[in-house]
Amino acid sequence: MSTRETLLIRISGPDQTGITTAVMGILAAADASVHDVEQIVVRSKLTLEIVVDVPRGKNVLKDMLLLGWERGLDVDFDMVDSAPAISIPSLIVSIIGAELGPNDLESVTSAIAKSNGNIERIRRLARSPVWCYEFEVHGGHLEEMRALLMDSAADSPRFDVAVQRSGLRRRAQRLIVLDVDSTLIKNEMIDLLADQAGVGEQSAAITEAAMAGALDFEESLRQRVALLAGQPIEIIDRAYDQLELTAGARTFIRTLKRLGYKVAIVSGGFVSFTDRLRDSLELDHAYANQLEQKRGVLTGELVGPIIDRAAKARLLTELADAEDIDVEQVVAVGDGANDLDMLAAAGLGVAFCAKQVVREAADATLSTPHLDAVLFLLGVRREEVLADERDTNTS
């Protein structure tokens, strides 16, 4: 008969300073070996679970019960197998919505169970500007789970979901490539210019058809740019003044930079805008199309190669190579058909307030118009962002 036994000790109750220290002191005095520790505090309520190997005959149980009585804690014990738990590759399921109630959580957890996934941990990452929960799931099949969860989200459009593999690659993603029109900014650059030129309605109609994938991007872009022929270049400055960043964009980029990410924008718009955005937001890279100018007037033509759907994907790959980052560790964010190849090329492609064709093709979807919600897909908690902002403002 073994001279030692393996126990799961579970301690719960009001959180207090020194509980873990006292527990470890009892285990040290009993010559115990600690195999695993999990601790969480929710609304000042502590749950501490420890798997230990202890010599038979020691007073561990009595001493733990006495500690519980003195501190007002519940203490439970279970005999468990001494064999170490097998580490199973896990998935991360993120659920994001303006409000998340029991019906939403039931829908998500049901989809996880149907794909043979087992939820091991749930964390709340945010409750402002949106709610976000993160589920760590062991077992299950990624593609099957993603399909079931997407069906659940489609049936209940109150929330968005994303499924990713956990592990080092997720935590090590170090390049974000962003679309600009209707992603980083609320506007469309060409429409801002067209409004200044008095041809807004004609341009907007072409833009909508292009974003829905009904028109070839290059053809539609050239048609819209042709509407600007003869306009003075001053309309660029006036149009830029009308540009509006998407909610949460500055917080999103500041946080990424503090985390050590490289941030690039790749746009089917124009360098006259993207170069200024790069400088004002301190981005690392910016690529877009070049409007031709002659003697202070726009010619209605473009200079150089077009940044279209294929070019965006190519630039993403080239940026990853230049920064010595595996393409699987790149996150791409976009909203239109012109972004589809870029989203597919990235390790994580996020459809942001996107057209249906893009939502169906992306790894993750976000319907909330807050760009900083993308941070939650990276496992960043809202409280961490706010704390960092406070530290920066007071330093």
Q: Rounded to whole angstroms, how far apart are CA atoms 332 and 344?
A: 9
Q: Is 276 exposed, middle or buried (0-12, 13-18, 19+ CB in 10 A)?
A: middle
Angle at 218 between CA 215 and CA 222, to 5 degrees: 100
User: Is the dihedral angle over the CA atoms 393, 379, 342, 208 positive or is it negative?
Assistant: negative
Name which of 226, 201, 206 is nearest 217 in CA terms: 206
- Asked if the domains 4-79 and 90-166 are classified in one and the same CATH topology, the answer is yes
Q: Rounded to whole angstroms, how far apart are CA atoms 112 and 109?
A: 5
Encode pLDDT of 172-210 as tens digits.
668 999 999 999 999 999 999 999 999 998 988 887 776
| Least trusted range by pLDDT, from 96-100, 109-113, 261-265, 389-393 | 389-393
Percent of the chain with pLDDT over 90: 52
Among left, alpha and beta (phi > 0; psi -120 to 50; other), residue 27 is: alpha
Question: So what's the pLDDT on residue 1?
Answer: 53
Locate 267 and state its tokens. 């746009």
Kindly give, in sequence order, each residue whose CB lies less than 8 Å from that of residue 210, ignoring residues fewer than 6 positions away. Answer: 217, 220, 221, 336, 337, 338
Encode pLDDT of 202-242 as tens digits.
988 887 776 666 678 898 899 999 999 999 999 999 999 99
179 is known as an active-site residue: yes
Residue where the block lists tokens 């360098």? 271
Residue 371 has pLDDT above 80, yes or no: yes
| 8 A C-beta contact, residue 233 and residue 293 | yes
Kindly give, in sequence order, each residue whose CB lies less than 8 Å from that of residue 173, ignoring residues fewer than 6 positions away. Answer: 261, 329, 330, 331, 347, 348, 378
Kindly give, in sequence order, each residue whose CB lies less than 8 Å from that of residue 22, ignoring residues fewer than 6 positions away. Answer: 67, 71
Encode pLDDT of 310-339 as tens digits.
999 999 999 999 999 999 899 999 998 889
Element (H, E) at 163: strand 159-165
pTM above 0.85, yes or no: no
181 is known as an active-site residue: yes
Q: Is 114 exposed, middle or buried (0-12, 13-18, 19+ CB in 10 A)?
A: middle
Encode pLDDT of 248-304 as tens digits.
999 999 999 988 899 999 999 999 999 999 999 999 999 999 999 999 999 999 999
| 8 A C-beta contact, residue 161 and residue 366 | no
Annotated catalytic residue: which of 179, 339, 363, 372?
Answer: 179
Name which of 303, 311, 302, 305 is nearest 266 in CA terms: 311
Kindly give, in sequence order, each residue whose CB lies less than 8 Å from that of residue 237, ignoring residues fewer than 6 positions away. Answer: none
Which fold, 4-79? Alpha-Beta Plaits (3.30.70)
90-166: which CATH architecture?
Answer: 2-Layer Sandwich (3.30)
Give domain 176-389's CATH superfamily: HAD superfamily/HAD-like (3.40.50.1000)
Domain coordinates in residue numbering, the chain: 4-79, 90-166, 176-389
